[in-house]
Amino acid sequence: MAVETQTEPLILVSDLTRKYGEGEAAVHALRGISLSIAAGEMVALMGPSGSGKSTLMNILGLFDRPSSGLYRLNGQDMTRLSARQQASYRGRRIAFVFQGIHLLPRLSALANVELPMSYARMGAGHRHDAAMHALELLGVAHLKDRYPSQMSGGQAQRVAIARAIAPGPDLLLADEPTGALDRKSGELVLQAFQQLHEETGVTIVIVTHDPVVGQHAARIVSLEDGQIIDDRPVTDRLRPQGGQS
């Protein structure tokens, strides 16, 4: 009889804590977080300000270290890596989308998407093909020669997402990605995340305080006072309506 093999989830966090300061002034940002996220999931980390969601995202993105506990990413213990090793891993395998879009104003959309791959010394032909493919996935290939000042907020954010996913990361972390956008532009960005998730299978973790944003994910993990208080699949998942612009 064949023996089934267990595949470790992409993200495995066990009894994770993060404390800032000492003594009575200490702030316990995370209090024993345990969480697993399988490759290919789209998860929303939700909670009010001070809930610990941003601290958890910073640890998942290797910008911060836990005070105690385990964090394994793609089967590797991240807590055992040096700061230089973490930075190298982060640059190769983790992508980020922030509330602030941060496109370089003097570069076209295509050049903005190609830029991180040029830092990674990827060949020019490969860079161009990967950038165009990412722009096409996000529905903004027609903007390849436009500059950020010539785009709407939603268009610019989709270009920023294309820049994040073009190198082929294992994990995409998005921190309040619609927070600076109007409702229509935000809907288009959420539509882009869903399409990206369904077409590429990239693992997406969105940090948000907005329940509407959370309902576009396939799973919601809710935090409060540094602890997970709820972890559930989204059974009434929202699907943004309308075409891309």
- Is 40-65+90-233 in CATH node 3.40.50.300? yes
Give the model confidence (pLDDT) of 67-119 as tens digits: 999 999 999 999 999 999 999 899 888 999 988 888 999 999 999 999 988 87
Kindly list the distances between the CA atom of residue 58 and the CA atoms of 30, 61, 66, 142, in Å, as whole numbers in the listed order: 12, 5, 10, 34
What percentage of the chain reaches a pLDDT higher than 70?
95
Give the model confidence (pLDDT) of 9-47 as tens digits: 999 999 999 999 988 888 999 999 999 999 999 999 999
For the question of whether the overall pTM of this predicted structure is more than 0.75, the answer is yes
Q: Could you give the maximum distance between any two Cα atoms of the chain, in Å?
A: 62
- Residue length of the chain: 245
Give the model confidence (pLDDT) of 229-241 as tens digits: 999 999 888 875 5
50 phi-psi bin (left φ>0, alpha ψ -120 to 50, beta other):
left
